Structures are given as structure tokens and as C-alpha cells.
Amino acid sequence: MRNMDKQYEVAQPSKKSIRSLPNSIQSLVGFKRNLTPSWIESVRQIIKDLRSSNEVASSSIKCTPLEKIQPSVNNDGGTDDSVKKIQDELDSLTSILKQLTLHRRQALNDYLDLKGNIRVFCRIRPSPTDVNYAYYKPPLFNLDSSNVSLRVADNKSKQYRFDKVFHPHSTQEEVFSEIEPVINSALDGYNVCIFAYGQTGTGKTYTMEGQPDNPGVVPRGIKALLERAAESNYKFLFTFSMLEIYMGNLRDLLAPNSRKRRVQKAPCLSIQMSPEGGVEVENLVVIKVSDFQQVIRLYELGMRFRSTASTMVNSMSSRSHCLIRISLTCFNAHERRRETNKLWMVDLGGSERLLKTQASGRRLQEGKAINLSLSALGDVIAALQSKKSHVPYRNSKLTQVLCDSLGSDSKTLMLVHVSPNEEDLCETICSLGFATRVRSIHLENEESEGERAKRELSMAQMEQKVKQLERECEEVRRNIKKLKDRLKHVRGPMNPTNSSFDDSYQSIEEVQYPDGAISFQSSRNFSEASAGLPRFMRPTICSQHKIGLTHYNAFNTRKKPPIPSKKRPSSVYAESIISPSKGACFSDYNSECSISAVSLNWKESEENGTESSQAGSEYEIKQVIFPEQEKSPRTTLTSDDDECIKELAKVPAKDTRDKKNLGIDELLNLKVTEKTSTYTRRSKRVLAFAFDKENKGREICKADIQLCNQSINLEAPNEKSESNTMEKVSLYGTVEQFGESTEIDHPSKNMVVGKFYNGFDASSSELTEIKNHHKEDYGQATEENELIMECQKEYVEGTNKVEIGSESTKIQAQSPALQEMNSCKEETLNSCQSKEDAEKSCLLSDLPKVDQRETFNGAEVSITRFQEEEHDIGIFEFFMQILQILWVRALFGLGFQSLGLSDDFFDGLMF
Ligand SMILES: Nc1ncnc2c1ncn2[C@@H]1O[C@H](COP(=O)(O)OP(=O)(O)OP(=O)(O)O)[C@@H](O)[C@H]1O
């Protein structure tokens, strides 16, 4: 016993480590008889020592680790020892920072949990009639920081309660400061979703986007996120994507051909879901961003393509839901919830009472689609709040795409917007009712006053704790930085492999291609990371293009037997070319209630290393987004911001031929530089375009030319037309597809196949959409004017000289090109409703062109015009033909007559 006591006495000194404790406990368990007062005292002492030594360590770290290290560096004199000591300090600081970050995250999480995983804020728009918003007091509302009393009748009011209420005079800063903690939890690896909901014209876009001098939640949030990520001790990879849900279809706002949606069926994206509940939008453009300015430029670009229109209620009404997705990836940050998470910021389309907006035509359909999806969103959030076993995510594309960011492991914030006007009372009641439904149902219904007070107290304490921990983290970070500087000073540039702290910086390596395109790769190798995923979750080759991982062939583990080249279905391309969007892809709001109808029948092309889908739209997107091709005449960027255009145009044009991936600058510059280039093609080309005999000789005022991988858009007002209509010519073609196998005698010449048509006479579904544009009551003029404006801008901005079909050649029978055209022809036939249309559409013709110079807004441009009436055969040529036929007849006449072919046969050859 004495020995035992002695033993514990020896183990008692203040420098005992925690390692002594298990020994003691083991002794305790093994030798119960040794449980003496002195033993207990010794254990107590160990614990006490342990606590105090921890406190000393942490306080010394918190205070001035540098000061502690300074003497050791000086005293030791030896560089190696100094380096080692600094390194040790760095390691210990890093581990402390990790602990602190973990605690901060936990505290923030607890705080947000107390507030509710789904939180609802309410913002009341200032009345437009009130000049001075700051002193405006809406008579309709009686507000405090979390309660809204709405006067519904003279002596009756309705009460609503929210997590936070913003008065009409609340500033953008105030709004953002409340939202910031939710955004910050994205850095901790949570999926976050922030919605702006409300009646049309109540300020959703104002809150989310803001104004240039008064930015909203999106720019502020992204800026804060980037700043905080830069401050953190990990390196984050941010990617930016932007899409809209228009009439129940997902559209990429950053895809270069986004602007075509007005005149063509825009390609729609499909949603893929993993068994684990992860959601990925197939073919979505994902752009790596590293600084705020890049994000803003992309955001502005995307916003230009968003569907907006003038309505009775809002002159710039959003006709779609706009979704901004920031994806965050951070490796080796074990305290983060997940390696890759998403932050969604969603500007929802305005809910509207269709009677009130008096919408009709397309506006009506848009309004219905928006209302339907909002109602589906309400159902989903209500189901989540009430913890129902079934959450109806599949009822709308909106909820489908957000489904992994709306669950219990995510943070959701809804900002409901209401109007202060009395005439909007009904909509206000609806919106507030919706928000109340969304808001913590279980909390609201089950919580007593006392419980609420208690919760609020805990929340306040937790908030303090979070702030305190943030301050501590900040201090440790500063000290780490100082130590690193000192270390550099002592031994030169720090070898990052020496410190675990720097491991995180190594985890993501940036690859800068010589041409400026940016890509990234992980030291953990993406292919490794994705190897365990189910096949459909692994990135496609196209996705790899997007994120710059094309060089990782191991990514695509699918091995398909090579298709013999002669059997390669050229129709895959033809399908995509002539009919970029299938019916399934474009539907009215009713598709909102279905899972994506786009088939994902992947076919691998060995020629270009991309995958093409039978869904034409997808094929088109892939080709347009990541062109590995020559400079094209694409003029997809239409800007309202001349300054921006000028600025971008300063950047010299780059050949994109070898690009594996588009960096943000390349994406933006491509559009501008190509716009100002004269289009000359070296390779062979097949053009398919529409031709309407009845309109021969009429000017083609709008040419929408799409060269599969490249596109050009020329639109101009039809000057000759009395009505406000537009005529349209669609030119589709291929560039790369026929490749070497094309048997065209003169590679420099172009083959032309197609038809002209008048946009209103044609009956294809594509034209119906144009018709709809012209039938609209509201926004019609605006939209057309917009088109005209865009067109004029394009003409002004660049002097596009488009030379298409200038040198027609005969098409050799059975050449792959002809097969291609035949399949195009078949498609066109299918797309035409009447036989007459079909006949019109399938004319094969060699058309000469007339180059004309026109002036738009003072800028002289060269336009290629097709005029069939000028397609006259010369009289000499005519006689030559007759002579040839007579000659043939003379040679073979007797032989043919013996076969039963009479003179009529030869006459037929002539005419
Ligand atoms: N808090 C505010 N302060 C000042 N102006 C505001 C505020 N909220 C909205 N507005 C103004 O009200 C008008 C309509 O706002 P906004 O376009 O953001 O509405 P919306 O809800 O996005 O409409 P829709 O759903 O039709 O797109 C804009 O001119 C905007 O500047």
C-alpha cells in the first residue's frame, strides 16, 4: 500500500500529463483495495493539474505566443532549434485553432437551431408614394422587431410573428447583418438556401440584388463569404453557377446561348439525384471564382439573360425563379460538415393574382407556373417543419433542384416581402399566411410564452458565445500569421509540407493553362474521390470539361467498345442540329409537376472526346459552352452596359481552340471578341435553313444562325414589313461533325440546304413560340423592343460580316454530309404540322447571297442577304444544259428508246 501511495505521489508533480490518468484508473479498477484517500487525492491532483496546465496553454496562446517564442529563438541561437520551436508552436496553435473553430461552429449551429433551421424574415417595402422612406410609417402595419400586426379592417387586425421583421426604412446593411450568420454556416459545410419570396413588385430583386450603389444580399453575401474564406486557415474552392426556372424548365443563365431562348426553345437542364439525396444539375455551367469582381461580372452577365417582362404591376417583373449557386469545396477540413456544400440564393418569381395583373397569353402561363412552384415550395417547407415522413420534393423543379439544401441538415432562410399598399391587402394576407405556414410550425404552435422567453435568452447567450469564439479564432489566426512570418524570416520561405497547418493549403492546386484558362485539381485526385460514387453520380466528360478535369481520364470509368466509324450514327448530330429541343424539353408549367423528361442516353464520341446526348438540347449546350474549336461568329453577348462591353472588348481576342476549360475571363471575353471578328471558315460546313417560297425576294431581317458549336445571332427590325412582326431565318449547321469523313470536293465551299419561312405562316412548334411572342398583350412591345435594341447593339458593337452559303456546291450523293442533311430534312418534316409546310421546309437549294451594307445607329455593317429571285440561271447556262441533254440523247437515244423511255423522258430532263 505504501508502495502504491508512493507510486502515485511520484506521479503527482505538476507536469504530469493526462497519460497518468488512465494508469491511475486502471489501477483503481484492478486493485480496488488500493482505493485509499491518498490515491483519490493523487487523482484529484492530476485532474487539477491538467486543467490548470490547459488554461495556461490556452491563455499563453491567446495572449502573445510570439513573445513566448521570441526569447527561445534568441536564446537558442541555433537556427534548427528555433525553427523547431516555432514549428511546434505553429502546430499547437493550429490544433487550438481547429478546436476553437469546431466550438464556434457548434455554437453557431446551436444558435441557428434555437432560432430554427428554417427561419422566416419579413420585409415591408416602402410605399412608392412616400418620398422620404426613412420617416415612412405604413398605416396598414403595426410593427416591432418580430411581430407584424396587419390591419385587415377598420377595427380588426391580424397578428403574425417572424424571426425578424424589417421595417420599410430598414437598410440593406441591416437586412444583410441578420442574414450573415446563415451565410457563414456555408463555410462550416452546411447547405444553405436563402429565398426571397413575395408578391410581384414587393422588392425581392431589390433585396437580393440591390442597386449598384446599394448592393443586396447576393453581392454582400458572396463578398463576405470570400473574405471569410480568405481569412480562414483553409483554402476553399468556390464555383459559381446561375440558372433560372422558367415555365417549369431549368435554364442555364451562363450558357452562351442563353439569349436564344426568346426565339427558340431554350435548352433545359435535367436534375440528377443520388441515392444519398445529393442533387446535381446536369450540364450546368460551373465557373471557378476566386475574387468578388469575377462573381459580380458573372452575376451581371447572368442577370441579362434572366426572363423579365413588363406587367401591370412591375415594369421589370421577373418571370422566372433565379437561382444562384455558390459551391464550396474544402479538403482536409475535418470540422466541416461536408467537403463540398452549396449556398443557394434564390430570387423567386413574384406570386401574383392573375386577375389583378390581368395577364394573358404567355404572361398568364408564366404567372401560373410561378404560382404552382411557389405552392410546391410551401408544401415542402411545411412538410419539413412539421417533420412529416414524406416531403413532396418532386412536385416542382424548384424543390427538386433544392432538395438537398432544404432538409434538416441545411439552413434555410425565407425573406417574405410585402407591399405597404392597401390595395395589395389580399396579396399581403396571402404572403404572410404562406410565410407563417413556412415558419417553425411546431415552435409556434407548441411554444408557450415562458418557453419562448427562455429560448430567446439562450439564443442571446449563444450569440455572445459565438462572437467570443470568433474573436478568439481571429486572435489565434493573427498569431499564426505572425509565427509564419517569423519562421520565414528564420529559415527562408517555409516548406509547406512541414506544417500540418499548411496541408490544407496544399489540398487544392490550381492549374493555370498557358492560354489563361483556369482549372483546378485536388491533391486527393478527383477520380479517387469519385471512384466510390455510383456511376451516374460521377462527372461526365462534359462536366470534367467544365471544371477543368479533362486530363483525368480515369474520371470516366465507363469503357464502351469503340463504335466503328462508318457505323457512328451521324443522326445523333443531325438530331441536335435541326431540332435542338425536343418537346419533352420544353413544356409549359405542367412539366413542373413531373420529373425531368430529358432522356439521358449518353453516347460517347471518340472524335471529340465529348459525350452527346440524344436530347438535342443537352448536346447543344455542351457544344456551345465548352468549344474546343476555332473562333466562331458567335455574338451571344448583348449588353445594356456599354461600359462593361468596352472594358471587356479591350482584352485581346484569344484562340480558344486548345482550351480545355473556360475561366471566367475567357467565358466573358469570348463573347465579345468573337463579336468583333469577321467570320471566315476553313473547314467544311453544312447549313440548313428554312425557305418559304411565298416570301421569296423579301428581306430576311432576322437571322438566327447556329453553327452547332458556335452561333451567331443577327436580329433587325423588318423595315419593309408594315406590322411589327419579325421574320426569321434559322440556319443550323455543323462544323466538326463531318470532319474528315465528309466527301466534299471543295473544302472551302459551303453546302446549303434549307428553307426560308415567314415566322407567322410556319406552323412548327418553334414558330408557335414566336407567334406567342407577338400575341402577348403585356410586355409584347417591350420584348420586341428589347430584341430590336439587342440587335442594334450587336450591329453597333461589331461589324459582323457573315459569309454564309456564298459558294454553294453540289452535294454528293451518299456523302455523310448528305446523310446528315437528310436526317435534318426528316426532322424538319416531323416538326412541321402540315404537309405544305413540310414541303416548303424540305427544299434543297443552292442560294446565292447578296452582300449589302446597312446602317444601324450610324454604324455601317455588312449583312448577308439571301434572295431567291436573284437565283436566276443565266441564259447561256440554260442553253448549255439543253445542248448537253441533246447530246446525251443523241448518244443513247436508241438504247433508251429500246428500254421504253420515250421523248417525254428527255423533255422532262430539260424542264
Ligand atoms: N426596400 C426598398 N427600398 C426602395 N425601393 C424598393 C424597395 N423594395 C423595392 N423597391 C423598389 O420597388 C420596385 C420593385 O421592386 P422589385 O423589382 O425588386 O420587385 P420584385 O418583388 O422583384 O418584383 P417581381 O416579382 O415582379 O420581379 C423597384 O423599383 C425597387 O427599386
Look at strands 729-734 and 702-707 and give their pairing: parallel
**How far is the C-alpha of 706 from the C-alpha of 133, rounded, in Å?**
49
Give the residue among 844, 864, 845 at the shortest CA–CA distance from 853.
Answer: 864
Residues forming beta bridges with residue 279, ordered by sequence position: 273
Is residue 147 classed as helix, strand or coil in its secondary structure? strand
In this predicted structure, what is the pLDDT of residue 294? 87
**Atom of ligand 1 lying closest to residue 349 CA:** 25
Atom of ligand 1 nearest to the CA of 347: 22
With a 6 Å cutoff on the Cβ, whether 204 touches ligand 1 is yes
Same domain, 249 and 366: yes
Rounded to an integer, what distance in angstroms lies between the CA atom of residue 83 and that of residue 562? 57
Query: Is 258 touching ligand 1 by the criterion CB < 6 Å?
Result: no
The answer to whether 222 touches 236, Cβ cutoff 8 Å, is no
In a domain, 865, yes or no: yes
Of 399, 415, 439, the domain-final residue: 439
Q: Over the chain (911 residues), what is each successive 10-residue block's mean pLDDT? A: 42 48 54 59 66 48 41 52 82 83 77 74 81 56 85 84 89 92 87 90 90 91 90 86 87 70 61 77 87 88 76 68 91 77 90 66 79 86 79 88 81 90 86 79 56 76 82 85 82 49 34 32 36 45 44 34 36 25 32 28 32 29 31 32 37 34 53 34 30 36 32 36 33 29 32 28 34 39 42 36 31 36 43 40 34 37 33 68 82 59 52 43
User: Which distant-in-sequence residues (6+ apart) come within 8 Å of 144 by Cβ?
Assistant: 165
Range list of H helices, 258-396: 292-304, 354-357, 361-385
Cα 390 from Cα 385, distance rounded (Å): 12
Q: If you measure from the C-alpha of residue 417 to the centroid of ligand 1, how many angstroms do you get, rounded to a whole number?
A: 9
Q: Give the pLDDT confidence score for residue 389 in this predicted structure.
A: 81
Q: Residue 141 and residue 137: Cα distance in Å, rounded?
A: 8
Choosing from 167, 172, 202 the residue with most ligand 1 atoms within 8 A of its CB, the one to mutate for a pocket test is 202
- Same-domain pairing of 4 and 27: yes
- Domain count for the chain, please give it: 6
**CA-closest candidate to residue 251, choices 618, 575, 710:** 618
102 part of a folded domain: yes
Predicted pLDDT at 308: 67
Do 219 and 306 lie in one domain? The reply is yes
The three-point CA angle 446-452-453 to 5° equals 160
* Cβ atoms 264, 586 nearer than 8 A: no
* Contact by Cβ (8 Å): 136, 127: yes
Whether residues 490 and 452 share a domain: the answer is yes
Residue 89 lies in a domain: yes
Cα(170) to centroid(ligand 1), Å? 14
Ligand 1 contacts CB of residue 320 (under 6 A): no
CB 460 within 8 A of CB 52: no
* Element (DSSP H or E) covering residue 787: helix 780-797
Looking at residue 218, its pLDDT comes to 93
Calculate how far, in angstroms, residue 169's C-alpha sits from the geometric centre of ligand 1. Answer: 14
Cα 592 to ligand 1 centre (Å): 26
Q: How far is the CA of 595 from the centre of ligand 1 (A)?
A: 32
Q: Using alpha carbons, list the distances in angstroms from residue 362 to 298, 351, 781, 783.
A: 28, 16, 13, 12
Q: 274 and 214, same structural domain?
A: yes
Residue nearest to atom 9 of ligand 1 (CA): 203
Binding residues: 198-205
> Is 167 touching ligand 1 by the criterion CB < 6 Å?
no
> In which residue are the cell numbers 483525368 written?
552
Calculate how far, in angstroms, residue 351's C-alpha sits from the geometric centre of ligand 1. Answer: 13
Taking each helix axis as running N to C, give the angle between helix 217-231 and helix 292-304, from 0 to 180 degrees, rounded to the nearest 10. 150
Residues 148 and 32 in one domain: no
Nearest to 277 by CA among 185, 392, 386, 407: 407
Among residues 417, 439, 461, the one where a domain terminates is: 439
Say if ligand 1 is within 6 A of residue 200 CB: yes
Q: Which of 460, 483, 506 is the last residue of a domain?
A: 506
| Whether the CB of 350 sits within 6 Å of ligand 1 | yes
Annotated binding residues for ATP, written as ranges, equal 198-205
Residue of 131, 314, 419 to test ligand 1 pocket, by largest number of atoms within 8 Å of CB: 314
Domain with residue 228: its CATH number is 3.40.850.10
At 747 the three-state DSSP class reads coil
CB of residue 431 inside a 6 A radius of ligand 1: no
**How many Å apart are CA 251 and CA 283, to the nearest integer?**
10
pLDDT at 222: 92
> Where in the sequence is the domain holding 892, given as residue range(s)?
875-910
Q: Which residues contact 468 (CB under 8 A, 6 or more apart)?
A: none
Instruction: Indicate whether 221 and 314 sit together in one domain.
Output: yes
Q: Are 248 and 595 in contact (CB under 8 A)?
A: no
Is there a domain that residue 511 lies in? no
Q: Do 214 and 186 fall within a single domain? A: yes
What is the rounded CA–CA span in Å between residue 683 and residue 352?
Answer: 51
Is residue 85 domain-shared with residue 133, that is, in the same domain? no
Structure letter (DSSP) for residue 846 = -
Please tell me if the CB atom of residue 203 comes closer than 6 angstroms to any atom of ligand 1. yes
Q: Which residue's CA is minimally distant from atom 1 of ligand 1?
A: 125
Domain shared by 676 and 785, yes or no: yes
Determine, yes or no, domain membership for 162: yes
**Does the CA dihedral 801-807-813-814 come out positive or negative?**
negative
- Please state the atom number of ligand 1 nearest to the C-alpha of residue 211: 31
800 burial class (0-12, 13-18, 19+ CB within 10 angstroms)?
buried
**Ligand 1 proximity of 125 Cβ (cutoff 6 Å):** yes
The 3-state DSSP class for residue 417 equals strand
| Ligand 1 pocket: which of 202, 206, 306, 371 to mutate (most atoms within 8 A of CB) | 206
Query: Which DSSP helix (H) or strand (E) runs through 194?
Result: strand 191-198
Residue 239 belongs to some domain of the structure: yes
**Backbone Cα Rg of the chain:** 34
- Same domain for 889 and 740: no
3-class SS letters over 693-733: HHHCCCCCCEEEEEECCEEEEEECCCCCCCCCCCCEEEEEE
Do 55 and 74 share a domain, yes or no?
no
In angstroms, the Cα distances linking 639 to 295, 302, 748 are 17, 11, 34
**ipTM of the complex in this document:** 0.98
Instruction: Tell me which of 131, 170, 199, 205 to substitute to probe ligand 1's pocket, judged by most ligand atoms within 8 Å of the beta carbon.
Output: 205
Centroid of ligand 1 to alpha carbon of 356 (angstroms): 18
Please work out whether the CB of residue 316 comes within 6 Å of at least one atom of ligand 1.
yes
How far does residue 128's CA lie from ligand 1's centre (Å)? 10
- Let me know if residue 38 belongs to a domain: yes
**Does 527 fall in a domain?**
no
Q: Which three cell numbers stand for residue 317?
A: 417583373
Pocket flag, ligand 1, residue 570 (CB < 6 Å) = no
